Amino acid sequence: MQHTALADQTLELHDPHSFVTKYIWSQDHKVIAIQYGLTAVFVGLVALVLSALMRLQLGFPDTFDFITPGAYLQFVTMHGMIMVIYLLTALLLGGFGNYLIPLMVGARDMVFPYMNMLSYWMYLLSVIILLASFFVPGGPTGAGWTLYPPQAILQGTPGYDWGIILMLVSLAVFIIAFTMGGLNYVTTVLQARTRGMTLMRMPLTIWGIFTATVLGLLAFPALLVSAIMMLLDKTIGTSFFMPALVSLGENLDYTGGSPVLFQHLFWFFGHPEVYIVALPAFGMVSDVLACHARKNIFGYRMMVWAIVAIGGLSFVVWAHHMYVSGMHPAFGFFFATTTLIIAVPTAIKVYNWVLTLWQGNIHLRVPMLFAIGFIFTFIHGGLTGLFLGNVTIDLPLSDTYFVVAHFHMVMGVSPIMVLFAAIYHWYPLITGRMLNDALGKAHFWLTFLGTYAIYLPMHYLGFLGVPRRYFAMGSTDFIPESALSLNASITVSALIVGASQLIFLFNVFWSLRHGEKAPHNPWGATSLEWQTPDVPPKHGNWGPELPTVYRWAYDFSVPGAERDFIAQNEPPDAAHPTSGELGGAS
Amino acid sequence: MSLFSTLREKPWEPQPALAGHPTPADPLATPRTALRFIMAIVGVLFFLFIITFLSRSQYPDFQALAGQPWQPFSDTSRLWFNTALLAASSLAMHIAVLVAQREHLNRAVLGISLAVFFAIGFLLAQLDLWQRLMAAGYYINSNPANSYFYLLTAVHGLHLLGGMVVLANLLFRVWYDDSLATLSGPLSLCAQYWHFLLAVWLLLFALLASSPDTINTLAALCGF
């Protein structure tokens, strides 16, 4: 199906006429994507600094006076929430989703550009509200990123007064922003594809972003519901989640609410959130791998099915985050089983990525290095997930550094590796310049090896029983001195990895002006975003006429073809005896 | 084409005449798709609220608002009155769509005006109900059942307000572009949203005015 209003009527495009309408109140999906991207990276850097402060405390306790136990908990909370929601979700969907969807499906823009613009400004508002909590009395909330009641809103937890209110309001605003953006993404994919772009000809990037957006649209309401109800518990004194409590010898006004109810709601959002982050990364890494291995993606259909299956299954595994909260044994069995079942489509994807590399013509350029790095980190994080998915193994490991190591490998490092792969891959399209290769390789090796130096030892600490979220370990029988030395080594690694991101930032800003001018389609990619008449694409993307698609996005190294790739919009003729050769333009 | 046959396609094989899907241009296809997603999202939102209501109802401090003669919703006449207002709004919207399709534009505008009038009436009547409950000592924080009543009616009312903003925007654009003839399509989508909110309200009405026995049965069916 095609969307004629945007396809053929360029009057609908709201051409910008001034600096303000072009770069600030812009309705162009590419500008909005960059706005999303820059804001997300900025707030992500704040979270990176917070993690460095946490690590300084853990590695060198009693050294930094300004890191109090309360401040430490605030760093933990804000680091987690910012990284998961305000960086990863925003950058993958608001940033790359916005930039790539219209270009990859052959549309001129999102179908609701005004709403798209509003989405960004609401997102910015949510970030401002969140960061404002650093400047209110009591500072930001220190309740942990899961914000479990009753402690989140009770005296004793840092930021129990203003910090938690600002956090909950910020989340609600973020969800409104995401919903406005998400409606655009799914509707654009379903209704604004150009002629010939069938669903099964879409690149996997679009499948990943589309499915993740559907997950987000259906899962974020759970967070919204829990945020609204907890806000009422905090401000008006309702008892949705708050049980009857005695605090400092006094009975509080709360009556018999259920904290576990909050946990169910939170994780009904929280687990799909893992895949809201992972699925776009799965899609993008598939395209980067195929392009730089000059080989069609192995098992395209299976990859699509796996994305859809993972999306569906992600709604029935949430309680594996709550084994220690207590539940009926049958539920534990059910959620452990579904958790292990979701490993099947995920494993299929991993096999297919590896088989795509098999006998490919691999070009170890920087995007490819990050993509291959992702396969390592994701397998690593995925395998430890199999441990934690089992109730009996999870119970002793719960709330230890093993869990920290697991989720950082699987949904911290892995999506970040893909984000770097994506930035190195699509930077030439976005800016018209190439990133510096040597700096990129230095950035990759420091990041890749550095993250292993951080997270591999954490698994060992977890096996020892070192608990997470603790400000200081103190002296215990089960944590030997060597574990503390290991913590110091992890901190040094973390600081090196953090500092190495400066190489990346320098590269991005330096290359904007001084980078080599990007040739048209520098990687020899087949997908539509590289086939625009201008690089970077101009407003409206496609000039006077929309492209017509004749084939899927993975015709690399086709026998008999002139070049080692055939673009999706290249008309079939005798020189290209390949799929779609019988397709007609009309 | 069904989803399953789409997912079975083999895009790497030669696909004769698959260069395009020339479908008749339907200007409503895009907003219709968006509306379906919006209704799904709002549906999930209320579904989750209702599930938490049923779960929370099983704790001993929960006192349903109906079931005993002294409970406020043992007499549901006020709720029925409010429901009648919302149903009238929905009906007026439906009639407005029908007459707009026949290009009787003055009558369509009258129908829309009536729909907005009744919708505002519904919201005011809900506010009045809030006041009466508070006057009778049923505050938002005095019992979880009360909390749910205020919360669910507020969220429902906000969605109705949002619908009115979209409707106002539609009318403004149609008026501004002088394209009254194109009113019926987008208006039919607004009407769908109106009917959807009526259905949500009926569900909330049934739930909030249920006796403890009914609520307990529903909760048991959900495994609480």
Total domains, chain B: 1
CA dist B112 → A144, A303, A491, B94, B188 (Å):
49, 48, 65, 9, 11
Give the residue with greater pLDDT, A391 vs B180: A391
Give the residue with greater pLDDT, A16 vs A385: A385
Neighbours of A438 (CB within 10 A): 10
**Pairwise CB contact (< 8 Å): A1 & B27:** no
- For the stretch A451-503, pLDDT in tens is 999 999 999 999 999 999 999 887 788 888 888 899 999 999 999 999 999 99
B217 touches chain A (CB under 8 A): no
Angle at A67 between CA A65 and CA A70, to 5 degrees: 125
**Pairwise CB contact (< 8 Å): A583 & B49:** no
**Pairwise CB contact (< 8 Å): A582 & B151:** no
Closest CB to A583 among B9, B19, B44: B19
Question: How high is the ipTM of this complex?
Answer: 0.94
What pLDDT, on the 0 to 100 scale, is given for residue A576?
Answer: 53
Neighbours of B23 (CB within 10 A): 10
- Minimal-distance CA residue of chain B relative to A582: B16
Three-state secondary structure string covering B143-199: CHHHHHHHHHHHHHHHHHHHHHHHHHHHHHHHHHCCCHHHCHHHHHHHHHHHHHHHH
What pLDDT, on the 0 to 100 scale, is given for residue A16?
Answer: 74
What pLDDT, on the 0 to 100 scale, is given for residue A574?
Answer: 43
CATH number at residue B166: 1.20.120.80
- Minimal-distance CA residue of chain B relative to A191: B30
Q: How far is CA B211 from the centre of its chain?
A: 24
**Rounded CA gap, B53 and A39, in Å?**
37
**Rounded CA gap, B83 and A23, in Å?**
47
* Residue type (1 letter), B206: A
**Rounded CA gap, A481 and A492, in Å?**
17
Band of residue A575 on the pLDDT scale cut at 50, 70, 90: very low
- For the stretch A61-112, pLDDT in tens is 989 999 999 999 999 999 999 999 999 999 999 999 999 999 999 999 999 9
- Minimal-distance CA residue of chain B relative to A266: B48
**Pairwise CB contact (< 8 Å): B10 & A301:** yes
What pLDDT, on the 0 to 100 scale, is given for residue A291?
Answer: 98
Backbone phi, psi, residue A284, to 5° = -65, -40
Q: How would you classify residue A524: left for phi > 0, otherwise alpha for psi between -120 and 50, otherwise beta? A: left
Query: Tens-of-pLDDT digits for all 224 residues of chain B?
Result: 588 888 989 998 877 555 555 454 688 899 999 999 999 999 999 999 999 999 999 999 999 999 888 899 999 999 999 999 999 999 999 999 999 988 888 889 899 999 999 999 999 999 999 999 999 999 999 999 999 999 999 999 999 999 999 999 988 887 887 666 678 899 999 999 999 999 999 999 999 999 999 999 999 999 88
Backbone phi, psi, residue B59, to 5° = -90, 150
* Residue type (1 letter), B18: L
**Is B111 a member of any domain?**
yes
**Pairwise CB contact (< 8 Å): A179 & B41:** yes
Q: Nearest-CA distance from A2 to chain B in Å?
A: 8
How does DSSP classify residue A518? P
Give the residue with greater pLDDT, A20 vs A28: A28
Angle at A284 between CA A92 and CA A381, to 5 degrees: 80
- For the stretch A373-390, pLDDT in tens is 999 999 999 999 999 999
Tokens of B44: 């999930």
**Is A546 a member of any domain?**
no
**Is B98 a member of any domain?**
yes
- For the stretch A288-334, pLDDT in tens is 999 999 999 999 999 999 999 999 999 999 999 999 998 888 999 99
**Pairwise CB contact (< 8 Å): B55 & A258:** yes
- Minimal-distance CA residue of chain B relative to A256: B61
Which residues 41-60 on chain B approach chain A with CB closer than 8 angstroms? 41, 44-45, 48-49, 52, 55-56, 59-60
* Residue type (1 letter), A579: S
Backbone phi, psi, residue A400, to 5° = -115, 175
**Is B221 a member of any domain?**
yes
Tokens of A301: 């259909």
CB pairs under 8 A between A and B: 159
Which residues 87-146 on chain B approach chain A with CB closer than 8 angstroms? 140-141, 143-144
Contacts of A108 in chain B (CB under 8 A): none
Cis before residue A536, ω within 30 degrees of 0?
Answer: yes
Which residues 193-232 on chain A approach chain B with CB closer than 8 angstroms? 195-196, 198-201, 217-218, 221-222, 224-225, 228-229, 232
Task: List all residues 6 or more positions away from B110 whose beta carbon is below 8 Å from its beta carbon.
Answer: B96
- Which of A191, A204, A263, A308 to probe by mutation at the B interface, max B CB count within 10 Å? A191
Total domains, chain A: 1
Which residues 225-284 on chain A approach chain B with CB closer than 8 angstroms? 225, 228-229, 232, 236-240, 244, 253, 255-258, 261, 264-265, 268
B189 is in which domain, residue-wise? 80-224
CATH number at residue A266: 1.20.210.10
3-class secondary-structure state, position A77: helix
**Is A536 a member of any domain?**
no
**Pairwise CB contact (< 8 Å): B144 & A232:** no
B5 touches chain A (CB under 8 A): no
**Pairwise CB contact (< 8 Å): B19 & A198:** no
CA dist A281 → A272, A530, B130 (Å):
14, 19, 48
**Pairwise CB contact (< 8 Å): A198 & B6:** yes
**Rounded CA gap, A410 and A452, in Å?**
12
**pTM recorded for the entire structure:** 0.94
A586 touches chain B (CB under 8 A): yes
Which residues 316-375 on chain A approach chain B with CB closer than 8 angstroms? none
**Above 60 in pLDDT, residue A581?**
no
**Is A173 a member of any domain?**
yes
A402 is in which domain, residue-wise? 4-240+258-531
**Is B216 a member of any domain?**
yes
Backbone phi, psi, residue A432, to 5° = 80, 5
Angle at B93 between CA B92 and CA B94, to 5 degrees: 90
What pLDDT, on the 0 to 100 scale, is given for residue B129?
Answer: 96
**Is B158 a member of any domain?**
yes
What pLDDT, on the 0 to 100 scale, is given for residue B22?
Answer: 44
**Pairwise CB contact (< 8 Å): B34 & A265:** no
What pLDDT, on the 0 to 100 scale, is given for residue A23?
Answer: 82
**Is B107 a member of any domain?**
yes
**Is B163 a member of any domain?**
yes
Closest CB to B11 among A192, A201, A582: A201
Contacts of A225 in chain B (CB under 8 A): 45, 48-49, 52
- For the stretch A258-286, pLDDT in tens is 999 999 999 999 999 999 999 999 999 99
CA dist B13 → A198, A289, A583 (Å):
14, 21, 11
Contacts of B9 in chain A (CB under 8 A): 198-200, 301
Closest CB to B12 among A190, A255, A552: A552
Closest CB to A583 among B16, B30, B140: B16
Supply the mean pLDDT for chain A: 93
Contacts of A551 in chain B (CB under 8 A): 11
Average pLDDT over residues A415-440: 97
**Is A89 a member of any domain?**
yes
- For the stretch A169-190, pLDDT in tens is 999 999 999 999 999 999 999 9
What pLDDT, on the 0 to 100 scale, is given for residue A91?
Answer: 97
Question: What is the torsion angle, in degrees rounded to the nearest 10, for the CA atoms of residue B102, residue B104, residue B107 and residue B111?
Answer: 40
Which residues 184-213 on chain B approach chain A with CB closer than 8 angstroms? none
Contact B200, B48 (CB under 8 A): no
**Pairwise CB contact (< 8 Å): B11 & A111:** no
**Pairwise CB contact (< 8 Å): B144 & A585:** no
